[in-house]
Chain A
Amino acid sequence: MAASHFLTDRSIDHVVLERGEVANSWRHERWDSLRLLTPNWQSRVPGLRYEGPDPDGYMTVGEVTEFIGRFAAASRAPVRTSTTVTSVRAAGDGYQVTTSQGEFSCRTVVIASGACNRPSVPALSAGVPASVSQVTTFDYRDPGRLPDGGVLVVGASATGVQLAAELARSGRPVTLSVGEHTRLPRTYRGHDVLWWMDHAGVWDQRYDELDDLTRARRLPSPQLVGTPERATLDLNALTALGVQLVGRWAAVRDGRALFSGGLRNVFSLADLKLGRLLDTFDEWALTSGRDGEFTAPERAEPTQVPAASPLQLDLTSGEITTIVWATGFRPDYSWLNVPVVDAKGQLEHDGGVVTDSPGLYALGLPVLRRRKSTFIYGIEDDARDVIGDLAKYLAGLASAEKTFGGLSGEISYGDEAFDIDPDIQQPRGWSCSASPLACSCSRRTSSCCTWAGILSSTRPGKPAAGQACWVRRRRWLTVARVSCSSRSAVRPSVRACLPRWPRVAMASSTVRAAGSIAAATVSRASARLRSA
């Protein structure tokens, strides 16, 4: 619907297809006690914001459903409900969309089905004895609906810690299997932790500024719960509730669940990471001159290591009657008949632009363009940007059609950014010049295009006065503009101009790489494997 808002702004004809009713997953695929992790003041979408009496509160599922319903009504989005998409495939200049209510032909498609279509349950669940009942977060509603007895909750992200707490409070013995996790206090120095992240600029960090985007996109949700008391729900809080913590569930053997003995290290990783985050908040408080407004900096107690944490549980003993899988979600692209999904089932995209299939876009995926991409209030900036790209693509198609032959123009390609160190991976064919503050590069690719780019001496947003380019460890090349002067370069869209040189550069640098693992050997080996 955010995409619809910006499409309407640009007078681009469109429809919004919804398999059920508006806010379907909020209505049917969430548990009863769930509240948003984000405070009400962060509940804003294009043209609509929370204006109720409790900006620091957290919406219940019912309130979220109502909020999204109001957004649909206010934006007059052309929603077709009860319309399940069964297939999207490339057809001519655009796409053919098959639904339960008929066919659509369109130039562009925005995939807004999100990353949480199916519960993600590890394969070892198949080895769980049949006497133990298994539920996912799609089926779980409240403690009363589970069989009597002990519960093993698997996963210690937001869902897992919330359900473990709820089940423990209902009087059940609860064991929580804990892997890597993100620990957060609900409030810090008198403000909601999300207020700090918002002000310190964490949520606005762009996908192309992050050291490890793949990792950022896979980051589990933080251990947070939205309650009127604004209580912290970390592992220490769960221990106080009587929840037994065990390590990551590694295997089932002879009816026994075997857990990792690495609990201490996942505690250390989470505690250290939390410390670094709080450091950035304190740093922001000082640099913004607002330090005096807040209570003194504080640090959380380290996560308590259980005196004795079992390494195995006998699943046939009757001690555990239910396993709740809080092991995350995965997207479902079974309907997408375009080869743009990777081996791990994730859509291959660059900031929501599916570069391998022009005209295909995505919204609402983790760190799509910013850390806040999957937040309700994060969709506005992403949708504006992605729909901006979509509009340019449509305009490019139109102008290419109109001026077939002799076309000259510019294609603005947004903020294409690559994590490239030019000292080591000098991109072939580029001419670069360096000054103490920045490098700029340009490249002429055959007769087609000239790329112009700025090679920042450091990451955007962190100016490093006096720092020379060549002493930084990481460099960001931002291709600001691609100019094309022949029609072959324009069709199909910008792809022809973008030979994806980061990969080319990587290949040439790996050939040069010396050392313990010779990557050239790897290439030869993989080539041989492919031909075998």
Chain B
Amino acid sequence: MTTATNGVNVQALLDAREVLKGAPEAAQFTWRASAKWQSGVHSQIKVQSFFGLGEEQTHKQEWTFEADHPEVFAAEDGGITPIEYLLVGLASCLTGGIASVAENRGIQLRSVESTVEGAHDIRGILGADSDVRNGYNDIKVTFDIDADASKEEIEALVAQSTKRSAVYDALTNPTNVTVEVA
């Protein structure tokens, strides 16, 4: 029994880990999003279904996201910029990981706040300088955590969460991406 109550059902996750060790097929998930152009550079993205544990699954409801660009890009600002969604994903993934690791280690969290900053040279996407990459040059996440733990324990929480983060991995390691026309 852990003494912390961060609201993460760690036992279910640990049990699932054991079960999936012997059933790697069931561990194969496919996440999906479908996007629809609205107008200008504004698109709307919907997320509901995914595949996992050997069958089709769905979120309890369909979630809708708006993506656009700010007015300084001469756009309507009908939603956040696509590259900002990467920051949303990274921050939420690391934060969820911190709660899970803390629960598993019996560390009670009181508050976990973070700011994520991505340094981006937009000359890349504008084609102004072919030596500049399109994506982020550097991303920095700064956590401010209040918990019943020493500074070292909190740093270890963050490091372990980072080590097991899907989004951190997707951002720091190359991934094969196929883009095609149906």
Contact = CB atoms under 8 A, between A and B. Distances in A.
A519 B16 contact: yes
Given A272-B155, A473-B1, A522-B19, A513 B168 contact: no
Interface string B2-19: 110000010111011011
Interface in B136-182: 152, 155-156, 158-160, 162-163, 168-169, 171-174
A424 B12 CA distance: 11
Which of A250, A260, A421, A526 has the most CB atoms of chain B within a 10 A radius of its CB? A526
Given A510-B15, A510-B18, A272 B54 contact: no
Nearest to B27: A522
Nearest to A263: B172
Contact of B18 (A265, A471, A506): A506
Which of A421, A515, A516 has the most CB atoms of chain B within a 10 A radius of its CB? A515
A169 interface: no
B156 A272 contact: yes
B20 interface: yes
B164 to A, nearest CB: 11
B23 A522 contact: yes
A424 B10 CA distance: 12
A359 interface: no
Interface of B: 1-3, 9, 11-13, 15-16, 18-20, 22-23, 25-26, 53-55, 106, 152, 155-156, 158-160, 162-163, 168-169, 171-174
Contact of B2 (A180, A473, A525): A473
A526 B15 contact: no
Nearest to B161: A265
Which of B3, B19, B156 has the most CB atoms of chain A within a 10 A radius of its CB? B19
Nearest to A524: B54
19 contacts: A258-B173, A261-B172, A265-B163, A272-B159, A276-B152, A473-B1, A506-B15, A515-B9, A516-B9, A517-B16, A518-B12, A519-B15, A519-B19, A522-B20, A522-B26, A522-B53, A525-B25, A525-B54, A529-B54
A272 B157 CA distance: 10
A462 to B, nearest CB: 16
Nearest to B169: A262
Contacts, number: 108
A355 interface: no
4 tightest CB-CB pairs across the interface, nearest first? A525-B54, A515-B12, A526-B23, A515-B9
Contacts of B22: 526
A473 B23 contact: no
Contacts of B54: 522, 524-526, 528-529
A519 B168 CA distance: 26
Nearest to B104: A473
Nearest to B20: A522
Contacts of B174: 250-251, 253, 258
Contacts of B2: 473
A109 B29 CA distance: 42
A253 B1 CA distance: 47
A261 B162 CA distance: 12
A134 B54 CA distance: 41
Given A258-B173, A269-B159, A519-B16, 11 more contacts: A261-B171, A268-B159, A276-B152, A513-B11, A513-B16, A516-B13, A521-B53, A522-B16, A522-B54, A525-B54, A529-B54
Contact of A526 (B11, B26, B163, B171): B26
Nearest to A268: B159
A470 B55 CA distance: 38
A251 B174 CA distance: 7
Contacts of A268: 155, 158-159, 162
Nearest to A262: B172
Contact of B173 (A180, A250, A269, A513): A250
Interface string A412-450: 000000000101100000000000000000000000000
A133 interface: no
Given A272-B156, A276-B152, A262 B53 contact: no
